[in-house]
Amino acid sequence: MDLGISGRKAIICASSEGLGRASAFALAQAGCEVVINGRRNEVLDQARTEIEELTGAKVTAVAADVSTPEGQEALIAACPAPDILVNNNGGPPRKDYLDLDRQAMIEGVIQNMVTPIELIQAVAPSMAERGFGRIVNVTSLSVLMPIEGLDLSSAARAGLTAFLAGVRPIHAARGVTINNLLPGKMNTKRLRGGIAAGAKARGVSEDAIAQAQIEEIPAKRFGTAEEFGNACAFLCSQHAGYINGQNILMDGGLFPHAF
């Protein structure tokens, strides 16, 4: 399917690895000029080279921490008038809520709530002026279903969701959509790290932990980064202009709900 966004300009935050990189790759495949971002130069440069070689797209790499004002300024300087913004960022590490101090909570909220809001403030008005804009926020299944030890991440992402519920109608009549993409158990480095930590804590094999998690998922597998990236690209396409303010869950049916 032609997504109708060839030539569009996209900023994808935290996109040197994992779901962010997959989203950048899918948008590049669709013909977008993409700005990718990460904090480790070597990994970021590798991602830029591979995406360019495999898609032929123009790829700009910005090494920066997107949670900082300086990092956001660098991204906007690299692409002053984006048509697409994919808000993605690492979450706070898994931790018991009793071990969270005030500074940790502030940093978690900045990472997963304040940062995407600031970037939307920076780009949404100009998208509306040009009559086209797609904003996708990568949140989490944990917004809907608590995950042990991820209380801070879940709360910050849920706060973002609630905040944007009131923002999304503002520019809708001028072609700007704001949607949230909620990954469940995707086969990424972050998931594997959690599996490894769980195996070590329980004194069992990583395969045993992974299989137990897979058995809980109706699809009987983990999701792939490629699947996620393609879903993100569709939400950014010309075909998704009537999808706005939605929480789109990608979890293989793990979260049980009727509506």
Instruction: Report yes or no: 137 and 181 within 8 Å, Cβ to Cβ.
Output: yes
156 falls within a domain: yes
Q: Is residue 36 part of a domain?
A: yes
Q: What is the 3-state secondary structure (H, E, C) of the chain?
A: CCCCCCCCEEEECCCCCHHHHHHHHHHHHCCCEEEEEECCHHHHHHHHHHHHHHHCCCEEEEECCCCCHHHHHHHHHHCCCCCEEEECCCCCCCCCHHHCCHHHHHHHHHHHHHHHHHHHHHHHHHHHHHCCEEEEEECCHHHCCCCCCCHHHHHHHHHHHHHHHHHCCCCHHHCEEEEEEEECCECCHHHHHHHHHHHHHHCCCHHHHHHHHHHHCCCCCCECHHHHHHHHHHHCCHHHCCCCCCEEEECCCCCCCCC
- Looking at the structure, do residues 203 and 84 belong to the same domain, yes or no? no
Q: Which CATH number covers residue 160?
A: 3.40.50.720
Same domain, yes or no: 175 and 191: no
Same domain, yes or no, for 35 and 102? yes
4 found inside a domain: no
Give the count of domains, the chain. 2
How many Å apart are CA 124 and CA 135, to the nearest integer?
8
Residues 30 and 148 both lie in one domain: yes
Do 96 and 176 belong together in one domain? yes
Residue 81 included in any domain = yes
Are 197 and 147 contained in the same domain? Answer: no
> pLDDT tens track of the chain, all 259 residues?
899 999 999 999 999 999 999 999 999 999 999 999 999 999 999 999 999 999 999 999 999 999 999 999 999 999 999 999 999 998 888 899 999 999 999 999 999 999 999 999 999 999 999 999 999 999 999 999 988 889 999 999 999 999 999 999 999 999 999 999 999 999 998 888 889 988 998 999 999 999 999 999 999 999 999 999 999 999 999 999 999 999 999 999 999 999 8
User: Is residue 3 one of the residues assigned to a domain?
Assistant: no
Task: Identify whether 257 is part of a domain.
Answer: no
Is the separation of the CB atoms in 228 and 25 below 8 Å?
A: no
Residues 168 and 62 grouped into a single domain: yes
Domain that holds residue 198: 187-222
What pLDDT was estimated at residue 198?
86
Is residue 127 domain-shared with residue 178, that is, in the same domain? yes
Shared-domain flag, residues 114 and 154: yes
233 domain-assigned: yes
Let me know whether 204 and 242 are in one domain: no
Residue 128 lies in a domain: yes
Whether residues 196 and 149 fall in one domain: no
Residues 30 and 112 in one domain: yes
